[in-house]
């Protein structure tokens, strides 16, 4: 912590501390996306087409290295800003609500997490673009992110950017509640160990906290991601409700509830690595950035 000759924090350090949750969330997400994007693309193909891991891997492999990171710009922008808002808005909401809900800490966390998730939903257009760019059906039809943005607005209007918003809202808020409450409870049980000798132990602890909670959380809400992808893979036409799309997938895939979990194993693996990396990066940035 930077202090002046009188022992008080400098204005630059105070500002850094004020926005550190936003900054650390942003940085953690950038590292996360760069590492896990190829895995996420294979899972996406499973969710969209209902195929096995080998078939999805073959699809991605046959398209070549040049198309491997096709569509990374929308999730890179979306996830970095989204994670920044997730941590930052949650922190600011807790600070705002504390004087009113100090006797109800779990309700305070619940409210802050739901609010942060709702704010994140503003970024739905990024998820919408990512879905269309990762779908092999549009590989030739859509040449770039810029081309897709212009085409959606010109042919279908602004509302089309927010196709699937209802599924995003149903996912974001509850998922945030589970993540933050679980994280805070686990961190109480396993506090950070002081001293240089414990840095590797803290590294492993942070990774496992993020990995286990993230993997469990993403598995629970996996069906909502399947529904969201099917809603957003449609370009133009009617805007179906979550229930309509759920019923359509259920009938199309042989009336089996298990079909909503096609790809969940790889998604769990991806989330385990992704949230483990993100949590380590987040905690390290908090230690060294400000």
CATH of the domain at 120: 1.50.40.10
pTM, two decimal places? 0.81
How far apart CA 2 and CA 13 sit, in angstroms, is 6
Tell me whether residue 68 is in a domain: yes
How far apart CA 73 and CA 79 sit, in angstroms, is 10
Tell me whether residue 90 is in a domain: yes
**What phi and psi, each to the nearest 5 degrees, are found at residue 280?**
-65, -45
pLDDT at position 95, please? 94
Tell me whether residue 5 is in a domain: no
- pLDDT greater than 90 at residue 191: no
Tell me whether residue 4 is in a domain: no
Domain that holds residue 134: 11-288
Is residue 25 within 8 Å of residue 84, measured between CB atoms? yes
How far apart CA 155 and CA 153 sit, in angstroms, is 6
- pLDDT greater than 70 at residue 197: no
Count the domains in the chain: 1
Give bridge partners of residue 9 from the DSSP assignment.
3
Tell me whether residue 116 is in a domain: yes
Residues sharing a CB contact under 8 Å with residue 151, sequence separation 6 or more, in sequence order: 142
| Tens of pLDDT, residues 170-184 | 999 999 999 999 999
Average pLDDT for 184-211: 83
pLDDT at position 105, please? 94
Tell me whether residue 120 is in a domain: yes
Residue 117 CA, distance from chain mean position: 10
Q: Can you point out the beta strands (E) in the chain?
A: none
pLDDT at position 1, please? 43
The per-residue b/e assignment along 24-46, b for 16 or more CB within 10 angstroms, e otherwise, is bbbbbbbbbbeebbebbbbbbbb
| Tens of pLDDT, residues 40-57 | 788 878 877 777 888 888
Tell me whether residue 65 is in a domain: yes
Tell me whether residue 3 is in a domain: no
């Amino acid at each position: 912590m930077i202090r002046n000759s009188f022992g008080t924090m400098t204005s630059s350090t105070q500002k850094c501390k004020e926005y550190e949750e936003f900054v650390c969330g942003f940085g953690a997400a950038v590292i996360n996306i760069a590492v896990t994007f190829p895995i996420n693309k294979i899972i996406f193909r499973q969710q969209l087409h209902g195929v096995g891991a080998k078939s999805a891997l073959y699809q991605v492999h046959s398209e070549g290295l040049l198309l491997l990171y096709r569509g990374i710009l929308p999730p890179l922008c979306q996830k970095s800003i989204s994670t920044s808002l997730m941590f930052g808005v949650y922190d600011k909401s807790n600070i705002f609500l504390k004087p009113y809900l100090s006797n109800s800490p779990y309700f305070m966390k619940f409210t802050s997490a739901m609010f942060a998730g709702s704010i994140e939903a503003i970024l739905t257009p990024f998820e919408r673009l990512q879905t269309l760019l990762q779908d092999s059906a549009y590989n030739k039809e859509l040449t770039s992110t810029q081309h897709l943005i212009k085409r959606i607005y010109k042919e279908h209007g602004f509302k089309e950017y927010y196709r699937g918003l209802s599924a995003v809202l149903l996912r974001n808020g509850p998922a945030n509640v589970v993540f933050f409450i679980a994280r805070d409870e686990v961190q109480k049980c396993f506090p950070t160990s002081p001293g240089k000798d414990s840095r590797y132990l803290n590294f492993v602890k942070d990774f496992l906290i993020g990995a286990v909670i993230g993997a469990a959380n993403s598995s629970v809400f996996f069906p909502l991601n399947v529904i969201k992808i099917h809603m957003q893979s449609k370009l133009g036409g009617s805007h179906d409700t979550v229930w309509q799309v759920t019923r359509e997938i259920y009938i199309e895939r042989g009336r089996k509830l298990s079909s909503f979990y096609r790809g969940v194993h790889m998604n769990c693996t991806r989330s385990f690595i992704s949230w483990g990396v993100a949590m380590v990066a987040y905690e390290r940035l908090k230690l060294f950035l400000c």
